[in-house]
DNA sequence: CGTTTCACTGTACCTTAAGTACAGTTGGCG
DNA sequence: CGCCAACTGTACTTAAGGTACAGTGAAACG
């Protein structure tokens, strides 16, 4: 499929507008509760137009997943690279990255809009194998990323608290996804950044002690 | 509504069988992907029978939520009370409780069946306000429970790592729910108990240091 | 012993949503 | 000029949830 050219000034093509509308609706209500009808009315397109672009709801879900996994990846990667720029020590670079993440999350307005990944993983049979695999490979990517950083830290800093680094890498992903969920549930946007702060404190505790 | 009497020998009433069938189906596929039709076929009841017992899908979801929140509550409460029985020191009683929880989770067969609460919180508009409130009040209950225990520990043990106890209490809930999700996604039942172990190590680190 | 209540069944029908098929249109570009 | 991407319009099918309501068999109750 041809990529949408970066047509700057023109009105955004329907495909774009559909993805945007779908993003908001799905994050707010979930995939199942979002109807194709409401989306096409919102962006002013026909049902046939929808079918032309995405085939079916699953196609829309897949396109969304691809887009937002990539978006999140870029943001998070940028943050942690910046952390390493600011302090080349592996431990402190990581701690700076975490702090930048915390501050970014604090700046977000209301309760975090949530994460398409989290939103899909409990709607299993509703989305295709393909989509679950996308989600899975993204999570595996994060696991590797964090694991690598923790490994580099461990080379220089002896562990004051004994924990498995693989598990500690998973903890980051879990606190983010779980934090989003609890933030939503409690209607408290502060919960997510607070949990990253807990993670940061733990990392410091593990490698620096009290 | 009258409670179902503990009719021991007799065949389980349809309501019970529906709840059981719904539990498995919803944990496996999510609420939206589970049809009333498939449930009534499975337990051999008519659609009118379903309506008689639950009114609609939302009624079923609510009944399920109530039941399993209560079930989980009893299990977790039992575990942590037992921990306190085995060691009356608040820190060590809690650590023992966490260890018992880890071992229980390790004994569970395949990937953790998941948690109705986690399964519902991203299907927001699909379930009624009532159900979200149930979920919310259960989460608040756990927050209080853990917070109280952490408070008792903090009275006796100075904190070696500075963390906010409210946030640390939330971390427990988040790691459980998030751990279930990642366990499911990765098809790895070990992830959930491993994360509780990470939490346990952290608690020890916070109050005992290295 | 009659009556009420519980736990259902059966039939019928409505609405929403997703999905399928396919023919037709429009505007820009080579 | 003609092609092609990006649509529109119409028509139909199926699945699923939800509503309404009359009826029934067994057992508990007074």
Alpha-carbon span B179 to B116, nearest angstrom: 14
pTM listed for this prediction: 0.91
Q: In the prediction, which pLDDT does B128 show? A: 77
Residue (of A124, A53, A108) closest to B119 by Cα position: A124
Q: Is the CB of B13 under 7 A from strand C?
A: yes
Q: In the prediction, which pLDDT does B3 show? A: 37
Distance from CA of B9 to the nearest CA of A (A): 36
Paired tokens of B76: 């977790």
Alpha-carbon span B108 to B193, nearest angstrom: 10
Nearest to B174 among A132, A140, A178 (CB): A178
Q: What angle do CA B183, A27, B123 make, to 5 degrees?
A: 60
Distance from CA of B49 to the nearest CA of A (A): 26
Residues recorded for chain A: 210
Paired tokens of B157: 């043990």
Residue (of A23, A183, A137) closest to B174 by Cα position: A183
Establish if A181 touches chain B: CB-CB under 8 angstroms. Answer: yes
Q: Is the CB of A112 under 7 A from strand D?
A: no
Bases of strand C lying below 7 A from some protein CB? 6-12, 16-23
Q: What angle do CA B79, B82, B86 make, to 5 degrees?
A: 140
Res B127 pLDDT > 80:
no
Chain A residue numbers with beta carbons less than 8 Å from the beta carbon of B169 are: none
Residue (of A121, A141, A176) closest to B187 by Cα position: A121
> What band does B10 get if pLDDT is binned at 50, 70 and 90?
low
Nearest to B121 among A125, A170, A184 (CB): A184
SS3 string, B42-92, reads: HHCCCHHHHHHHHCCHHHHHHHHHHHHHHHHHHHHHHHHHHHHHHCCCHHH
Per-residue pLDDT in tens (0 to 9) along chain A, 210 residues: 333 333 334 567 899 999 999 999 998 888 888 999 999 999 999 999 999 999 999 999 999 999 989 999 999 999 999 999 999 999 999 999 999 999 999 998 766 666 788 777 767 666 778 888 998 999 999 999 999 999 999 999 999 999 999 999 999 999 999 998 899 889 899 999 999 999 999 999 999 987
Query: In angstroms, how far is C5 C1' from B52 CA?
Result: 14
Q: Which of residues 67-96 of A touch B (CB under 8 A)?
A: none
B75 burial level (CB within 10 Å; 0-12, 13-18, 19+):
exposed
Alpha-carbon span B46 to A73, nearest angstrom: 49
Q: In the prediction, which pLDDT does A6 show? A: 39
**pLDDT tens, residue by residue, B129-177:** 888 899 899 999 999 999 999 999 999 999 999 999 999 999 999 999 9
* CB B132, CB A185: distance < 8 Å: yes
Alpha-carbon span A133 to A128, nearest angstrom: 9
């Amino acid at each position: 499929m041809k990529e949408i050219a970066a047509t700057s000034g023109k009105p955004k093509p329907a495909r774009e507008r559909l993805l945007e509308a779908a993003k908001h609706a799905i994050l707010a209500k979930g995939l199942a509760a979002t109807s194709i009808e409401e989306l096409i009315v919102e962006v002013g397109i026909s049902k046939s137009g929808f079918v032309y672009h995405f085939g079916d709801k699953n196609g829309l879900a897949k396109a969304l997943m691809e887009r937002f996994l990539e978006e999140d990846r870029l943001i998070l990667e940028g943050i942690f690279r910046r952390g390493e720029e600011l302090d080349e020590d592996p431990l402190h670079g990581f701690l700076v990255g975490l702090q930048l993440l915390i501050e970014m999350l604090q700046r977000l307005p209301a309760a975090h809009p949530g994460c398409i990944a989290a939103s899909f993983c409990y709607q299993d049979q509703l989305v295709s194998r393909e989509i679950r695999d996308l989600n899975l490979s993204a999570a595996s990517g994060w696991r590797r990323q964090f694991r690598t950083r923790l490994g580099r830290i461990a080379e220089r800093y002896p562990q004051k608290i004994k924990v498995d680094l693989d598990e500690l890498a998973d903890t980051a992903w879990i606190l983010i996804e779980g934090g989003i969920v609890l933030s939503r549930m409690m209607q408290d946007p502060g919960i997510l950044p607070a949990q990253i702060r807990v993670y940061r404190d733990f990392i410091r505790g593990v490698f620096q002690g009290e």
